[in-house]
Amino acid sequence: MKIAIMGAMPEEIAPILEKLGTYKTTQYAKNNYYEASYKGVDLVIAYSKIGKVFSTLTATTMIEHFGAEKLLFSGVAGAISPALKVGDLVVATKLSQHDLDITAFGHPFGYVPEGSVYVETDKELIALSKLVAHEMNKNVKEGVIATGDQFVANEERKNWIGATFSADALEMEGASVAVVCDALDVPFFILRAISDAADMDASFSFDEFLQTSAQESAEFVMKMVDKLAR
Ligand code: ADE
């Protein structure tokens, strides 16, 4: 089995590469892809760069060029739900693009014809994450994640996204990865650790907690890989 592990930023995959120690680096489509064999499974690892376009390219490449059969995304997010604090882990149940807007034509936010407002994640991988959370004695929350090409540092925008999509957290890649995996029929899992509250202090909080939160998320994803390897 070949599993893709994807992040958006170097900090999001660094803990995974560190854990592996040795891997093969391949350049493709102006990005680096890292391949390794880990406990009998083949891994392809990459960070896409930030945003929906780069993450679409990387997810597609991991599946179509490198042959990934499952995709696990690890990274950080801004909290919308007041119940989510810095360092908390959120597993996406479904994802939506909060900046997709053809409402001028009477469609809901996040919708284009022949698409859907939400893309659901794989139920088996969510079930596996529950097992991992139990074994790690971690309180992992499930929720809706909203994605857009904006770093949200504004209470009003955050609240609008929360209200419009019933979203618990927001970030900049999950929904585009979801669209790719759904279209190509590849089971996928999107995990995020909270780095900020998407409010006026978000950029400072992000800078302060990116590394530690990314590490939290990466550790959890590697435990998922341990389980998938069995
Ligand atoms: N990822 C982490 N925090 C974020 C924020 N506030 N906005 C968008 N993406 C994020």
Q: What percent of the chain has pLDDT over 90?
A: 99
DSSP assignment of 154-194, as one string? Answer: -HHHHHHHHHHHT-SEEESSHHHHHHHHHHTT--EEEEEEE
% residues pLDDT > 70 (the chain): 100
Q: Which of 81, 86, 170, 190 to mutate to test the pocket of ligand 1 (most atoms within 8 A of CB)?
A: 170
Q: What are the pocket residues of ligand 1 if the criterion is a CB atom closer than 6 Å to any ligand atom?
A: 76-78, 151-153, 170-172, 195-196, 198, 202, 206
- The alpha carbon of 30 and the centre of ligand 1 are apart by a number of angstroms equal to 24
CA of 179 to the centre of ligand 1 (A): 19
**Residue 175, domain CATH:** 3.40.50.1580
Whole-angstrom distance, CA of residue 72 vs CA of residue 119: 15
Which residue has the least CA distance to atom 3 on ligand 1? 78
Q: Is the dihedral of CA 65, 192, 111, 116 positive or negative?
A: positive
Q: Which residues pair with 32 in a beta bridge?
A: 27
Mean pLDDT for the stretch of residues 80-87 = 98
Q: Is the pLDDT of residue 230 over 90?
A: no
If you search the block for the tokens 């609008």, which residue do you land on?
160
H or E element in which residue 2 lies: strand 2-7
Q: What is the DSSP letter of 98?
A: T
Distance from the alpha carbon of residue 38 to the mean position of ligand 1, in angstroms: 31
**Does pTM surpass 0.75?**
yes
Give me the domain span that covers residue 179. Answer: 2-229
| Stretch 187-212: mean pLDDT | 98
Active site residues: 12, 196
What is the tally of structural domains in the chain? 1
Cα torsion for 104, 109, 111, 113, to the nearest 10°? -10
